[in-house]
Amino acid sequence: MRIAIGGFQHETNTFAPTKADYRAFEQADSWPALQHGPSLVSAFNAGMNIPIAGFIAEATRWGHTFVPLAWCHATPSAHVTEDAFERITGMIVDGLREKSAYDAVYLDLHGAMVCEHVDDGEGEILERVRKMIGPDVTLVASLDLHANVTERMVMYADALIVYRTYPHIDMGETGARAAMHMEAMFKGLPKQAKAFRQIDYLIPLTAQCTMSEPAAGLYRDVAALDGIVLGNGRVSSVNLATGFPPADFAGCGASVIAYGDTEAAANEAADRVARRMAESEPLFREKLWSPKDAVAYAMQKMSTVGPVVLADTQDNPGAGGNGDTVGVLREMLAQKAQRAALGVLFDPQSAAEAAAAGEGGRVKLRLGAKTGGADEQPIEEEFEVVKITNGEFLATGPFYGGTHMSLGTTARIRSGGVEVVVASRKAQCADQEMLRHTGIEPSELALVVVKSSVHFRAHFEPVASEVLIVESPGPNIADHTKLPFKHLRKGIRLMPEGKAFAG
Ligand SMILES: [Zn+2]
């Protein structure tokens, strides 16, 4: 078969300070730059932990060929601009105009895109694609575990296949599962009935980690439903998206999507997962620490068997933060923390000033808090410059999965027992190499602070003695009751077992 393939990934935090324009999608970071036309297929290889890479590898195995549309992504931020959405969706839809050229369509989507002019980004993309290809051409999309899935998305796609891990170590594998589902459809899978359930509480990102309960058990149960027979029908695919909470629109929240040979089978599978989600609500509650208490706790413990790792979740660049707030760092300096490091602070100006001072030099900096998302002032302090790098290195942990990272000029600076890795590009600290390439060995420290919510766990948790979630300035608000929501579904609880949104 000839499969038209494309993708358009964005996770929108509608409360974040910066929008995603066309340029944000055009450039490469830890994932490839925008691909349009034939380069799209060769830009991805089988080992990459990216959905479309897994899809291409699996569909190739079945002997299929590809019609490249367009593929791109941008790091999470506020709304996708109208210009970016229309240009990129236009490329995808235009590529489908020649209807005799393809037999099916696969799209690599995130599922939590909010645009300046459209709330339900992926619903809009899938509707426009469906209208172009007609009702009978197979349309399958893969989605991030943080998708905020809508009825409209479910309606226009034949199947939505969702990641099952957070940290997302199965992105490539999910693309492969989408290809296998499509293959089953090519081989005569009966037209599948769909069931969709929206869960009535928001789950904080830090509580969604599938390395611990309740998410670990939930996703095990979801996977076990694939292929089983319920009543009079076989279930082909069951999907749970735990949602991306800082998105102020009616589709925000967790959801279940099930496909089966009969309505009854699809409904029963979806209801089983929805019931498990209802039972699990109390288990999704999680303690948030103040920076002061968290730093004091780690300093009192002074672990010699791996650091206490503090997740500075609210400033996570993977969820709309700019990676430059200094709430935890200020506390580390105030408490004169020892054997302590923070990574990665985004501050190109300070990195350049440290580089100018040179290794072994001293430099007076106004550090961090420059992009103005949080109501904070930079830290004014003199630092010793320990190491300067060009920020080019290989990530070795399971999340970035062997990708080459480019952080620009990067400085390791020190004040007393506190070290900071300052980079010229924004990146979520989810790999030990982000510290280690400057000579810091995370496993030997007593305290490590990472600007990440959960992805860091894949590489840092094995060496950590403990992980604490910290509530420090940043736009990825962990306590959703503090977000100025206006457009959620009425009645949805803002936190597990918390108060309901009144509208
Ligand atoms: Zn995600």
Span 333-375, pLDDT tens digits: 999 999 999 999 999 999 999 999 999 999 999 999 998 766 8
Ligand 1 centroid from CA 295, angstroms: 28
Ligand 1 centroid from CA 303, angstroms: 31
Ligand 1 centroid from CA 272, angstroms: 24
**What one-letter code names the amino acid at 40?**
L
Ligand 1 centroid from CA 388, angstroms: 32
Query: pTM of the full predicted structure?
Result: 0.88
Q: Is 389 helix (H, G, I), strand (E, B) or coil?
A: strand
Q: Which residue has the tokens 């050229």?
A: 101
Ligand 1 centroid from CA 221, angstroms: 20
Ligand 1 centroid from CA 414, angstroms: 33
* Res 401: pLDDT: 78
Ligand 1 centroid from CA 74, angstroms: 13
Ligand 1 centroid from CA 121, angstroms: 16
Ligand 1 centroid from CA 118, angstroms: 21
Ligand 1 centroid from CA 146, angstroms: 5
Ligand 1 centroid from CA 145, angstroms: 5
380 C-beta neighbours (distance < 10 Å), count:
9
Ordered domains of the chain (ranges, CATH) = 1-189 (3.40.50), 192-287+479-503 (no CATH), 291-478 (no CATH)
Ligand 1 centroid from CA 190, angstroms: 31
* Res 320: pLDDT: 82
State the Cα–Cα distance between residues 182 and 23, nearest whole angstrom.
Answer: 33
* Res 432: pLDDT: 98
Ligand 1 centroid from CA 318, angstroms: 8
Ligand 1 centroid from CA 144, angstroms: 5
Q: Residue 168: which of 470, 453, 496, 427 has the closest Cα?
A: 453
Which segments of the chain have a pLDDT < 50?
A: none
* Res 373: pLDDT: 65
Ligand 1 centroid from CA 243, angstroms: 8
Ligand 1 centroid from CA 437, angstroms: 26
* Res 359: pLDDT: 98
Ligand 1 centroid from CA 113, angstroms: 12
Ligand 1 centroid from CA 168, angstroms: 7
Do 8 and 95 touch, CB atoms closer than 8 A? Answer: no
CA triplet 318, 126, 493: central angle to 5 degrees? 55
Q: Which residue has the tokens 């999470």?
A: 76
* Res 214: pLDDT: 97
